[in-house]
Amino acid sequence: MQYFNIKSLDDIEKLSDLFSGDSVMQDTISNSVRNILQDVKQHGDSACVGYTKKFDGVDLTPQNQEVSADEWQQAAANVDGELCEALEFAAKNIRIFHEKQKHSSWEIERDGVVLGQRIKPIERVGIYVPGGRAKYPSTVLMTALPAHIAGVEEIVMVSPPDKETGTIDSVLLFAAKIAGVKRVFKCGGAQAVAALAYGTETIPRTDKIVGPGNAWVAEAKRQVFGTVGIDLIAGPSEVAILVDANSVTNWVVQDLFAQMEHDPMTRCLVVSLSEEKAQDIIKTLEKQMQTAPRSEILLQAWQGNSFVCFVEKLNHAVEILNRFAPEHLQIMVDKPR
């Protein structure tokens, strides 16, 4: 974590390079991803299972990359009833929302000329679901259900296999089942994006790839865009929180943890209008982090990509937040308007 006492616009200017990230690291990721994409494009399944063994520690064959009928059945039996009900409830709400988003074809005729718009679903969509450090059934529901509602014929899901079991987490598979996913492959990282973009002997080529991932997944999606459609380029999570003397410290800390636990490369920023509150947040966070779940990842994110800024002027706070331009922005001040 880096702490800054901001007194002028010149001080803010010095933050810009820090906020832009590590360009050397980005170049390393970009080159690594380029090699992985090319390898999968040329060698298909053999490259995929090789990277799965290297990065995920799971030894697969091309034939058992796809989740089997037995694995689907076992997953359904493993998920407890209360969680099943919660996922079904979430799926129902997501369906209701996305049903309202559906577009319809239309046409008009003017002087013998027919004009209009024809809406057709994409034939095959690939969804990337993160695995490993955390399991997010919500990602399955929020990516697969809109595709299912839109009428996509085939939804293909990829996710890194669990190192202990060698398969996909049961909760993710249950979420996939209720979201209409029929095929799931034990493959993650840039190699999974490559497989969805180019196709392999067992993993079908898709027309569009959606879903979040780490920096390697985001870079892979960026590089295959054009060969295949993508939703957006979303890197590691980012959160910025504006606080003042009246902010509830524990709320701030817990909301930081909610993003930090995703990835060691998560970027966090706290901008405080109170120096005392800034120090209280730092002290509380570092104390709670010692006993929090996933403390190792929290510590890496806190030490590597986190910033706390004390400012006396609100316009300086706004300028810092605009330059950081976070994925998630929270305004926890007494008078937010």
What pairing do the DSSP bridges indicate for beta strands 328-332 and 238-243?
parallel
Write the DSSP string, 250-291.
HHHHHHHHHHHTT-TT-EEEEEES-HHHHHHHHHHHHHHHTT
- The 10 Å CB-count burial string (b at 16+, else e) for 79-116 is beeeeeeebeebbeebeeebeeeeeeeeeeeeeeeeee
* Catalytic one of 66, 154, 286, 327: 327
Number of H helices, E strands in the chain: 13, 12
* Catalytic one of 88, 153, 201, 328: 328
- The 10 Å CB-count burial string (b at 16+, else e) for 222-246 is bbbeeebbbeeeebbbbbbbbbbee
| Annotation says 316 is catalytic | no
| Annotation says 238 is catalytic | no
Catalytic residues: 327-328
